[in-house]
Structure 1
């Protein structure tokens, strides 16, 4: 219970002040002149002023509130290595026991896990949240149970009480980590790419382990290549990418005896392998409306180097014009089709027919080029069904179909086959169309009738269900046959046009073996803690996926069909690291998370980052290894840390339960006191006059 005097003047404070000044002057004059009873009359005046000030007594009934101690327990990844989990558990139990012995004190515990993504330990964010949930006037102290490695120090809040750090770890801890300091996100195929690495030692490293270390390098989970590298300085490592598309490169150094953790001994780098330039040779048999479609497609891609060979004047044309006036230089057919044919990634024959310009030797060399890994696309016109067809040349051995010598001149909608809905070249071209509905594009009006070979894949059909687009693999190469020369109708917007650019782009890139267009593929990808496994196939449903986690454990996932020829499975909440996936036929690897987790950049326990903040609050840093200190109550402003103890400052907070306001004196009491002093002054003056008269 507390009492307090309040004032609520009955008149304006300014007027009350004037009256006080007048009264003081009157008392002073009376005293100076020696008037009888001046003291009693002055006292009566003061009582009148006091009554006008209207004093009252406020009585508060208070209930004491408990003090609060906040304990933030760091349970991030770096706190789960070595002896730290056991230290944390023991320290928490000791703090709970210490707080329980303090009078009128409560303990609030907040546990901190890994930050989202790769943010690391957010200790200050957690402390700010804990302070926001509690009345700051009751917070008597804060303790952090951590290794001192945090990544959000700028978010530190204003501290209302001492902050202490109970430091986990041991003084003899040491660790070695692998850092990727420079790695490109993509690289040119066929050219070595250089990555910069560094091996760093932290803590009390044994002398016999300093200096050099073994480094293992593996690509896509293949057998590792081991090299010896120095520790403590940058290392340049050249790597040759084995294939286009995503390459997953893993660098690792073997853990040493006594090392704190091996979680930072490996780093994963993802590099997308791209071709420097895609070289395409376009051979046009004669000028026609569709020739421009191919040229526009290939020239629109800045990564394509196009060589266009068009026969403008066939040998049978005799118009008497001297040869010297037809061209300045001769077209280098021998150089292109014999000497440098292997430099091309794709050769396109657009309505080409045998006219003797390209000898059989050249065409046989093209056949050999296909079998050794090249690609040929034939866009057939009416000549393909004639006696001068390319089929009647050495190229017949690699073509996917045989012409029947029939040309259908009628309107038809190109239609994707059931197999084509699974194939990456044609899948989803008619997306949004219900089964059985006509395709959402215009018609073509010419089809060269062909008979497919058994190994050929028919992905589109034309008039009367006859093959339109056929794909095949020959030796190491690929061949495609488009049995029509009217794809240009789509580019002109006839009857709404169609996806000719997308179709021809996919077709060209499939033939050049771009990884994203492989029809048989197993792809593993990691996104935001989720491992996504996708199997593309033209056959039946694949078997279950066997996933090998970074720690070596395995699990099985059953894929589900998400589209024709596409099956998918997901692993939610996957940890950071390298995953290996197999479906019994194919294998893939995926890296989840950053190349090296931020939580393991610094693993040696230290209070270095928190020292300024803790010192400013009057707190201290104590190693749990030396024993958990006692908790004591200290006054605000006094040192809150000493040898073997840490201090909290009791806040003496309270809650007001009741307030009562009473007048200092009732009105009749004020009146009686004033009257008593005035009567006393009158009587005193009367006695004084009588005494003076007798003495006279």
Structure 2
């Protein structure tokens, strides 16, 4: 394909040429007005000179036509797997591909879009923008998009130079029901209600026979679910009460309804951290001793602890003649503490307390019942525990995990973990822990020594620490719904003072207290998962006192299952890495232990809006002059349409041929060489002179 054109390369500025042309025109006009002969030839000579200065050239371009480009975007995101959309897409893509490849001078650019990482959804706009940037806009004849229309970045759709034709999968009769969490707190106070706002919502062409109520199931930490009937389309405010600290996983599930597109958006998970408003502790001390201040300082150092300290400052055997009326400013409210409000306390600590008749036996019976009902008692025993004034001589003996033999070890010894203690979460991994076998110390410095211990017998709890002569030092047990810990020494304060190098006194006592508070992180038998932010996977953790543990069954979001074997990575801790293929809810199960893990949102973004619609892409389609066509009405035929004309109709869609070309060669030749212009101007000038001279001779003759 060749084209000719005239180009100009003036030797002087165009302004000067225009000025010269005006002057020459005026001169020729004056000659014409005065009737001078030869004015035409002189005018032509001046014109030739002006053309010579303008230096015209003939440009010859040799080019070749370019093919048109048509984009075919194939949406393969998760929502395209609903119903028969995948089959619709396969059929449409195959038909459109054949039609475009059969068109002369037309090239196809195929683009496949899947799920974007980090639950970003379907990024059709970004994919289209990247494809368009890689091609010359002058060659783009159209773009075909086979999709359900749910583009999550429609605002990034570029301005196309040709029609954008959206071919919608799905059906007009599609409908779906989903669960929407509108607001949920990230933490909640243990024992106090927290509100979660949610809504059950129907989308699409909901049939008249669809129920107007839905069954909503709620389960916390994999426990048995509770069912409720809720109205569809109404905002719901649901109060929940958290019963333990740490992470609480609340799972909401809607019972699927026949006919809805998917049940992947029927589940939702809220993860809330349970925190205690105030930890209410009752510290009952016997006679003052060096460790009493350690207990008080430990509990008062935590601003979240409400401490009530009851101390026997004056034992009954002290007879010094002081009147009873002067022994106390106010009467201590023992009945209110141990009867009326005992269940208001989270933990009761007996620190070297001796039963000297100050508290009635009925109070101790009430404390024992408090433990069976779910309370917690910690006994730090001193020498009085081995006497007739021992707490063992009260109704508390029914809940204490061991019996004092009456013997007291007054010698230096190193607290050591038992084999059970190496696995128990209260003592496992404490800094500086010595080995179970003293022969394996190897000269390494461990914890500091203690100097006194009460010998225990008839142990029915779990011994996690031993002391002098391998006697039980720390014994813990469950009683009814509550828990009891017995520390057979009053020497823990030595670690706080740094005696013999000290030890993890604060950490140990905190762990004991939190174990008695039933904190999930300190349960002996636990199954949970550790999810790293931004990671598509998690670490399965099984904590157990057993030497071996079986595999964990994982149920994926799509309902398929897999079994994972665990490996012991620390005493009492078995783990395994799990790489997940998609976001959603994963259920872990081993024996009677269940756990729900939310990897990303329980309902991925792909399932937030499941009804096929052209609304998200409507602006881009209208701006390009394209149209939205439903595939359920048939696969349209592709036609060529001129720019600005309608690009869609009954059973057809249009693309706009561009007729683009590229230049292969350019040649430039002057119209005349410079000497030719000069000769032509000279001939015209001479001709004008001769013509004018002949006229004068005639007049004189």
TM-score for the superposition, normalised by structure 2: 0.88
Corresponding position of 1:503: 508
Flag the 1:418–1:665 CA change in 2: closer, same or farther, 3 A. farther
Corresponding position of 2:127: 126
Deviations 1:503-542 (A, max 9, x none): 3222211111111110211114556542432101122131
Corresponding position of 2:617: 610
Corresponding position of 2:544: 537
Flag the 1:4–1:428 CA change in 2: closer, same or farther, 3 A. farther
Matched, 1:635 2:642: yes
Distance 2:505 2:539 in 1: 31
1:23-62 alignment to 2 at 5 Å?
A: 23-62=24-63
Corresponding position of 2:294: 293
Shift of 1:237: 4.8
Greater alpha carbon shift after TM alignment, 160-169 vs 53-62 = 53-62
Flag the 1:661–1:438 CA change in 2: closer, same or farther, 3 A. farther
Shift of 1:69: 1.4
In structure 1, the gaps of 5 or more residues are: none
Distance 1:90 1:634 in 2: 24
Number of equivalences:
693
Corresponding position of 1:562: 569
Corresponding position of 1:481: 486
In structure 2, the gaps of 5 or more residues are: none
Deviations 1:240-288 (A, max 9, x none): 6576654544444443333332333343444555555432111122334
Deviations 1:468-514 (A, max 9, x none): 54433344432223344444455456787654333322221111111
Distance 1:220 1:229 in 2: 22
Correspondent of 1:673 among 639, 664, 680: 680
Flag the 1:487–1:50 CA change in 2: closer, same or farther, 3 A. farther
Corresponding position of 1:84: 85
Deviations 1:406-451 (A, max 9, x none): 44454x7655555434322233332899995777877355342534
Shift of 1:556: 0.8
Corresponding position of 1:313: 314
Distance 1:463 1:667 in 2: 121
Deviations 1:560-594 (A, max 9, x none): 22322211123322444443322235333334442
Distance 2:222 2:286 in 1: 47
Q: Is the 8 A contact 1:114 1:121 kept in 2?
A: yes
Q: Is the 8 A contact 2:453 2:468 kept in 1?
A: no
Flag the 1:118–1:364 CA change in 2: closer, same or farther, 3 A. same
Q: Is the 8 A contact 1:447 1:462 kept in 2?
A: no
Distance 2:500 2:155 in 1: 63
Corresponding position of 1:97: 98
1:194-593 alignment to 2 at 5 Å?
A: 195-221=196-222, 224-237=225-238, 245-275=246-276, 277-384=278-385, 388-391=389-392, 393-396=394-397, 398-400=400-402, 402=404, 405-408=407-410, 410=412, 416=417, 418-430=419-431, 443-448=448-453, 450-451=455-456, 454-460=459-465, 468-491=473-496, 498-524=503-529, 528-584=535-591, 586-593=593-600
Deviations 1:102-147 (A, max 9, x none): 3322121222222333433322222222223333332221222112
Shift of 1:88: 0.9
Q: Is the 8 A contact 1:297 1:505 kept in 2?
A: no
Deviations 1:130-172 (A, max 9, x none): 2233333322212221122233233332333222211111122
Shift of 1:544: 0.9
Deviations 1:181-205 (A, max 9, x none): 3444444555565544433333333
Deviations 1:360-388 (A, max 9, x none): 44445434444454322223345545665
Distance 2:102 2:495 in 1: 85
Q: Is the 8 A contact 1:179 1:596 kept in 2?
A: no
Distance 1:91 1:174 in 2: 23
Flag the 1:416–1:159 CA change in 2: closer, same or farther, 3 A. farther
1:61-72 alignment to 2 at 5 Å?
A: 61-72=62-73
Distance 1:440 1:111 in 2: 64
Deviations 1:263-318 (A, max 9, x none): 33343444555555432111122334433332333334444332111222222334
Q: Is the 8 A contact 1:74 1:112 kept in 2?
A: yes
Greater alpha carbon shift after TM alignment, 377-386 vs 197-206 = 377-386
Flag the 1:420–1:137 CA change in 2: closer, same or farther, 3 A. farther
Distance 2:8 2:294 in 1: 97
Q: Is the 8 A contact 2:253 2:267 kept in 1?
A: yes
Q: Is the 8 A contact 1:447 1:468 kept in 2?
A: no
Residue 673 of structure 1 aligns to a residue in which SS? helix
Distance 2:181 2:122 in 1: 21
Flag the 1:586–1:170 CA change in 2: closer, same or farther, 3 A. closer
Q: Is the 8 A contact 1:163 1:617 kept in 2?
A: yes
Distance 1:403 1:41 in 2: 143
Distance 2:95 2:512 in 1: 70
Deviations 1:453-480 (A, max 9, x none): 5544444456787655443334443222
TM-score for the superposition, normalised by structure 1: 0.88
Flag the 1:14–1:185 CA change in 2: closer, same or farther, 3 A. closer
Shift of 1:331: 1.0
Supply the RMSD in Å over aligned alpha carbons.
3.4
Q: Is the 8 A contact 1:214 1:229 kept in 2?
A: yes
Q: Is the 8 A contact 2:401 2:459 kept in 1?
A: no
Greater alpha carbon shift after TM alignment, 67-76 vs 400-409 = 400-409
Shift of 1:70: 1.5
Flag the 1:35–1:630 CA change in 2: closer, same or farther, 3 A. same
Distance 1:311 1:159 in 2: 87
Flag the 1:356–1:619 CA change in 2: closer, same or farther, 3 A. same
Residue 615 of structure 2 aligns to a residue in which SS? coil
